[in-house]
Structure 1
């Protein structure tokens, strides 16, 4: 087990946030479903993004890496490989899995999906129901990702509840425009994570695909469309930038670059939440902020921005009053049970957090104590949250299994050091 000791230094300086993982997944898939050659710039090779790259290569695309640039020859290019048996290793990427399951049904033959960690525990019943309706053959193992699918998806009408992961809807949106015949996706309940659907539709539109969004209740999809190859730059990631924005709310002074003020990313909600808590932001070449008086509590709805909840919980833990986080049940089936992880680890540091079935109740304290060992739960967002927490602890802390940040932000601790973070690393053995 690898561990890291972090001193209680504030952070200061300029940081360029990594490219949006959400947009990178989408751009790679759109480019790889074309018939020409696309250039995608501003790529960060996290474990999740590498999983999607390798997955699309398995489906017949050719993808070459050149520093932070990809050259993508689409799977429908006349010279593409046409494998009839393929394996897609999703690693721990839920996006890769749920996006590529329906995409794989554009291609004849057998596709096997494997992965690690908690990925096998993430439900796929939405797809299994479609497989049964359309006669698509599949086999799986309980609690372990070992899914095999064989068959071709047909166009038609698909009814999905809105309180499931938006990844299922995105996977179908990617796939249905390429089928013969028109399709419709009907959302049977209020749609959560609308921001992620906006990202999908925006990226698909950039690659030439047109879908009619009827107030997030129905999506009308014309068949026989084609992805148009193009050059594309991935924008900066608000879910990663949130760590520095929250650090600033807690007393650090980090100027954050490559965050678009007009971004459609759902995790841009971090700006609105922090503003309600007393932080004022200024956009320009960099995003800067100042805190007026002390931070105050607020009500936080996690349904549209689940990935920023761990670090926002940290800010709430150091804000005056009682903050409640609601509609956060899906955080229990991420890379770990994030509600339990946040409450357990931040409470070790001196926070006062109560777990609820669908959220958290947080009673603010003035400072965190530190001076203890905490664990990342092998979850990248928990590890980064704890690193930011160190900046407000009275004493240093030790984070175990910190290297899981490679899943989304491999250079996080490198950037952390450049901003003045004082870190000692070592191996604790198994």
Structure 2
């Protein structure tokens, strides 16, 4: 188990933001479903992206890795060569690949680790029950085995659990031999993730009609077309450094597309609502030291920003309320409980509610020992909070950042962070 001890201090400098994990998952899948060779550039091989690559290879897709690129030789008709797919701890991999696997009609087993084993899949089980597809699991948990082929038709699905179910169906349904319709039975949260899926599908030749996020019309018998793709920088990762710049000294984030469809681009408007200073020039966003103030943050469209925004709010003037965040309880950890518990250990004043947080800001925090809850975003958010602690911060199980941002601690050090690291046992 890896421990990091951070000696508090301000960070400054320039950092190249890792590429969007969300966009990379989608590009690998679309390329893998295309007839021909696609080249994907600007790739960061996080554990989650590796999981999607391995899962697609299990379905017969050929993938060659470069230093920061992928050459994907896709298959118009998937031919599974390995019936078991280990999705590690990647919710995107699991929820995207289940319906794609179900287009093959083969018997397939999906495995996972950590909290992924128990993350909800009922939206798919309802579909399988309706279509009489065979499946079994272990008391509702992974491993999940499916057998049978998806049929075209109407798919009714909730929009307030995870947009990943909707994206998963969007990848699979164009391959079926008839037209389909996805009907959203509640308000759709995380709309930008669905936009990101449809945008990537369009790049690879797939058309979906969006009827005001209430229905999606999907023609069957479509074919994915191979295409080269450069993956853009990830706003959810940039958010950590932007918050660090507001709390410390100037930090410039390189490699961001200001026209991105990523929902986490909301970090820019949220920072401005908190009186934070940022400037944008081309593909660079600079955060400057600021006296940030409390605000109300609606997390329904950008849940991944909540951990780092909680750290920023804990060190801002006044009270911040985070609302519409209940879904964070079923992420890699119960993120509402995790971030409030650990920041309070550092001396913050955070009240946990059923679907959000109330954060009463302080000028500085104390420091101390905290846990990551084996959640990459919790570990990185705690690292940001250390900037304004009066004593060192020790983070237990800090290597969990590999899930999405393998170079986080190297970048933290390169920006002037004073850290020591050591391992105990496994």
TM-score of the pair, normalised by structure 1: 0.97
Q: CA deviation at 1:280?
A: 2.9
Alpha-carbon displacement from aligned partner over 1:120-164 (angstroms, at most 9, x marks no partner): 211111101111111111000126410000111111011112212
Match of residue 178 from structure 2: 181
Match of residue 66 from structure 1: 66
2:135 corresponds to 1:138: yes
Match of residue 290 from structure 1: 288
Match of residue 405 from structure 1: 401
Q: CA deviation at 1:108?
A: 2.8
2:417 corresponds to 1:415: no
Give the number of aligned pairs. Answer: 425
Of 139-148 and 58-67, more deviation after overlay is shown by 139-148
2:235 corresponds to 1:242: no
Alpha-carbon displacement from aligned partner over 1:299-353 (angstroms, at most 9, x marks no partner): 0111111111000001111111111111111111111111111111101111100
State the secondary structure of the residue aligned to 1:175: helix
In the alignment, the residues of structure 2 paired with residue 83 and residue 164 of structure 1 have an alpha-carbon distance, to the nearest angstrom, of: 29
* Equivalent pair of 1:85/1:109 in contact (CA under 8 Å): no
State the secondary structure of the residue aligned to 1:373: strand
In the alignment, the residues of structure 1 paired with residue 114 and residue 410 of structure 2 have an alpha-carbon distance, to the nearest angstrom, of: 25
Q: CA deviation at 1:249?
A: 1.6
State the secondary structure of the residue aligned to 1:83: coil
2:385 corresponds to 1:389: yes
Q: CA deviation at 1:85?
A: 5.3
* Equivalent pair of 1:40/1:231 in contact (CA under 8 Å): yes
Q: CA deviation at 1:291?
A: 4.9
TM-score of the pair, normalised by structure 2: 0.98
Alpha-carbon displacement from aligned partner over 1:210-245 (angstroms, at most 9, x marks no partner): 111111011011111111101100000001011001
Q: CA deviation at 1:169?
A: 0.2
Q: CA deviation at 1:107?
A: 1.1
Alpha-carbon displacement from aligned partner over 1:362-398 (angstroms, at most 9, x marks no partner): 001111111x111111110011111111111111111
Q: Give the one of 183, 192, 197 matched to 2:194.
A: 197
Q: Which structure 2 residue ranges, 5 or more long, are not aligned? A: none
* Equivalent pair of 1:37/1:72 in contact (CA under 8 Å): yes
State the secondary structure of the residue aligned to 2:35: coil
Q: CA deviation at 1:35?
A: 1.2
Q: CA deviation at 1:23?
A: 0.1
Alpha-carbon displacement from aligned partner over 1:2-43 (angstroms, at most 9, x marks no partner): 211111121111100000000000000000011111000011
Equivalence map 1:316-335=2 (5 Å): 316-335=313-332
Q: CA RMSD in A?
A: 1.3
Match of residue 256 from structure 1: 253
Match of residue 2 from structure 2: 2
Equivalence map 1:23-422=2 (5 Å): 23-76=23-76, 82-83=79-80, 86-142=83-139, 144-285=141-282, 286-291=284-289, 294-370=291-367, 372-422=368-418
Alpha-carbon displacement from aligned partner over 1:237-293 (angstroms, at most 9, x marks no partner): 00101100111121232110011111110111111111100013221142113355x
